[in-house]
Amino acid sequence: MTRWGAPRLWLSNWRTATIGAVALAIATATGLQAAATTLDDPPVPPTPPVITATYHGTEITNCLDQTVCPETAVLGESVTFTFIATSPDVVRHQYGFIGTGAESIDGNTVTITLAPPDQGWNRLDVQSINELGQFSTTASFLFNVGPRPGPLGSWGFDDGTGITAADGPGLTHPLNLGGGTAFDGKGRVNGSVALDGVDDFAQAGDAVVDTSQSFTISAWARPTNSTKRGVVAAVTGTDSNAFALFYDAAARRWVFARSSADAKNPTLYRAASKEAPINGAWAHLIGTYDAATGRLQLFVNGRLQQSTTSSTTPAWRAAGPLMIGRGKYSGALSGWFAGSLDQINLWQRVLVADEIPGLVDPRIGSSGNDRIASGGAAYWPLDDAAQGTDHVWRTAEAVRGADLTLAGFGSPAGAFVDDPEYGRVLELTGRSRESLTLNRSVVDGSTSFTVAARVKIGDPAKPMVIARQGTTGKDTWRLEYKPVDEFTSQWIFARGDVASAAETVAIATVDRESVAGWHLLAGSYDGKPASASDPAGELGLTVDLRASDGSSERYTATPPRAGNTVVGAARTTGKSFTGRLDDLRLYAGVAGSFKLCEDYPGQDACGS
């Protein structure tokens, strides 16, 4: 706790200085009596300041002497304090909330805006400081801060069937589904809603939020058409959107925008993403509008993309309705979104920084925060292959139909064999021409993801790449096996760096003898969104879900985002996979042990 200044410390220094002054006075014969008078009349410290406070322009009562203290502010929002000096020689004030460090501000009477640090009781302590550096006694201001208001609308799209998406608990804005909009069970968090980009949409009965006031919208979006504009959500008027969160195909950017007026050709104030979306991958979007400053902000996957200031003219209030999957431009409905949407929320306030990580890395469970929620991005059972009408052999993907193309196999159908432990599995011989490829990404490498697979090494003396995503020059991520010497081997999860040829690796070092047989490898990247104090991500690797056989490593590089998904082949020759593979999965988000035990039953670490 900060130690506050006290007049006693000043007095000690003053006495020391005065002794020197007395000696000088005697030596110069200016009068012993004058020196004695100085000793008897030390400088007087300032009296404590008067503190006043307002919240949204309304005066707050100091509860120091109150028996009842109602909630007068909201956690995460600012309170304006005025420190009124009661001594004319005050030049500075030292202040701080209990439990935080002290700061100072220059001036005799000053006004400052501060955000209370805690919900419930908050006490601000202030001391005045005069020209001589003397501190007043402490003045305090006690007030009660209420919890942050929850969303006014929250749609998880976990309904499963029907034509209505229920609002969150206690909320009253259900969405009606139109066109061919349908629920599916493949969302970022449980279910989602799928839209075709032609005539699918969902719509509330009203605007849900007042667009002339501060608000925030958040959503998970998985676009599937990079060539057409797609609106995630908008609140509409007669001719235009009061705001819209959308994909701009011309700029290839996510955009959060508000319009200057309900007109056919209004001015648009925009905040845009720094990079293009990864088609087919989940992205988390947050748009905020601060009515007091006119500031718009867009966050993608928890990271601020752009902050812009719109016109100081008050924003207009749209009658609505809230539309999902489409918007309104020049009086006509347009911007039909193609892809999937999940977890859309609307607040009548600006979210603060510490609320963002919980949205980007959501948790599920009976209490709402039991375990990290990861969404299935891809699942290749690797049981068999079929030849298409184009004469290309492919093995099926079970989540979104992202089938892998087989190449280099003498008999593609014969590449899948019967295994006594896991039934039908993929077997590769280590020939460099053998591979399975998808010419796109299924996860965005700039945000959290997990890759997992069952692996059985065929030749423990040979280094080999199991699976990877990347280009011919750089791997976005890579799972591999490496023999170190005749006694030791390594399982490796590696990530590249956009800015250099360097790689960061998480390594699990094991006895060579333990490599024989089947193993479950799980490599994860935790992007750690919005952690200003430590922006580094983290790589993790587990073997058979045992923490003792795992590894983690800080990842400070700029992560590559995209690339082809490849199984069995490396970027360079000599590391083609030899052995058997089964059940390759990719997840959006960090897949925890609970999820992996669910998808890979039978692991000893999972228990019965």
Distance (Å, whole) CA 141 – CA 122:
8
What is the C-alpha separation between 346 and 588, in angstroms, rounded? 23
In this structure, the answer to whether residues 579 and 520 fall within a common structural domain is: yes
Q: What is the pLDDT of residue 366?
A: 52
| Beta-ladder partners of 82 | 52, 111
Our separate counts of H helices and E strands in the chain read 4, 46
Q: Is-contact 37 54, C-beta < 8 A?
A: no
463 and 382 in a single domain? The answer is yes
Element (H, E) at 14: helix 7-27
Residues in Cβ contact with 146 at an 8 Å cutoff, skipping those fewer than 6 apart: 71, 72, 73, 74, 75, 119
Mean pLDDT of 572-580: 92
| Inter-residue contact 530 to 505 (CB < 8 Å) | no
* 583 and 381 Cβ atoms separated by less than 8 Å: yes
CATH number for the domain including 255? Answer: 2.60.120.200
Same structural domain for residues 427 and 553? yes
Structure tokens at 605: 């670490």
pLDDT digits (tens, 9 = 90+) for 522-553: 999 999 765 545 567 899 999 999 866 778 89
**Residue 28, SS3 per DSSP:** coil
Tell whether the model's pLDDT for residue 11 goes beyond 50. Answer: no
Query: How many angstroms separate the CA atoms of 311 and 213, rounded?
Result: 14
Domain, as residue range, for 178: 153-360
Cα 558 from Cα 528, distance rounded (Å): 13
Helix (H, G, I), strand (E, B) or coil at 103: strand
Q: Is 362 exposed, middle or buried (0-12, 13-18, 19+ CB in 10 A)?
A: buried
State the total domains in the chain: 3
Question: How many Cα neighbours within 13 Å face the side chain of 412?
Answer: 17
pLDDT at 292: 84
Contacts of 19 (CB under 8 A, 6+ apart): none
Q: Is 272 left (phi over 0), alpha (psi -120 to 50) or beta?
A: beta
Q: What percent of the chain has pLDDT over 70?
A: 91
Distance CA 183, CA 176 (A): 12
Is residue 1, in this structure, part of any structural domain at all? no
Q: How far apart are the first and last CA of the chain?
A: 49
The whole-number pLDDT of residue 468 equals: 97
Give the per-residue pLDDT at 35.
44
Phi first, then psi: give them for residue 41, nearest 5 degrees.
-125, 75
Mean pLDDT of the region 238-251: 98
Whole-structure pTM value: 0.84
Question: Mean per-residue pLDDT for 579-605?
Answer: 94
Q: Where are the beta strands (DSSP E) in 163-200?
A: 164-165, 175-178, 182-184, 192-196
Q: Are residues 423 and 515 in the same domain?
A: yes
Main-chain phi, psi angles of 372, to 5 degrees: -65, 135
Q: Which pLDDT value is given to residue 561?
A: 95
Cis? peptide before 48, omega within 30° of 0: no
- pLDDT one-digit tens code per residue, 340-399: 999 999 999 999 888 998 899 888 765 545 688 999 999 999 999 999 999 999 999 999
pLDDT digits (tens, 9 = 90+) for 34-56: 444 455 678 999 999 999 999 98
**370, part of any domain:** no
Cβ neighbours of 306 (radius 10 Å): 18
108 and 158 belong to one structural domain? no
φ, ψ of residue 598 in degrees (nearest 5): -70, -40
Longest Cα–Cα distance of the chain, Å, equals 115
Last-in-domain residue among 310, 330, 360: 360
- Asked if 202 contacts 316 with a C-beta cutoff of 8 angstroms, the reply is no
Task: Give Rg (Cα) of the chain.
Answer: 32
Inside any domain, residue 427: yes
What does the alpha-carbon distance between residue 562 and residue 281 come to, in Å, rounded to a whole number? 10
In a domain, 2, yes or no: no
Average pLDDT, the chain: 90
Q: Does residue 583 form part of some domain? A: yes
- Let me know whether 142 and 158 are in one domain: no
Residue 371 falls inside a structural domain: no
Residues 129 and 168 in one domain: no
Tell me the CATH number at 125: 2.60.40.10
Residues 63 and 111 in one domain: yes
DSSP annotation of 373 reads -
Q: Among 93, 125, 146, which residue terminates a domain? A: 146
42 and 14 Cβ atoms separated by less than 8 Å: yes
Q: Is the pLDDT of residue 97 over 90?
A: yes
Two structure tokens written together for 361:
């890395």
Residues 128 and 239 in one domain: no
Same domain, yes or no, for 491 and 460? yes
Contact 481, 455 (CB under 8 A): yes
pLDDT tier at 312 (50, 70, 90 boundaries)?
low
Strands 423-429 and 488-497: unpaired
Q: Does residue 288 or residue 372 have the better pLDDT?
A: 288
Residues 158 and 109 in one domain: no
CB count within 10 Å of CB 267 equals 12
In this structure, are 400 and 301 located in the same domain? no
In a domain, 28, yes or no: yes
pLDDT confidence of residue 44? 94
Domain end call among 82, 115, 146: 146
Tens of pLDDT, residues 443-477: 999 999 999 999 999 999 999 999 999 998 899 99
The sign one gets for the Cα dihedral 583, 586, 587, 589 is positive
CA distances from 257 to 241, 291, 300, 322 (A): 9, 14, 14, 15
Residue 366 lies in a domain: no
Give the span between the Cα atoms of 54 and 527, in whole angstroms: 39
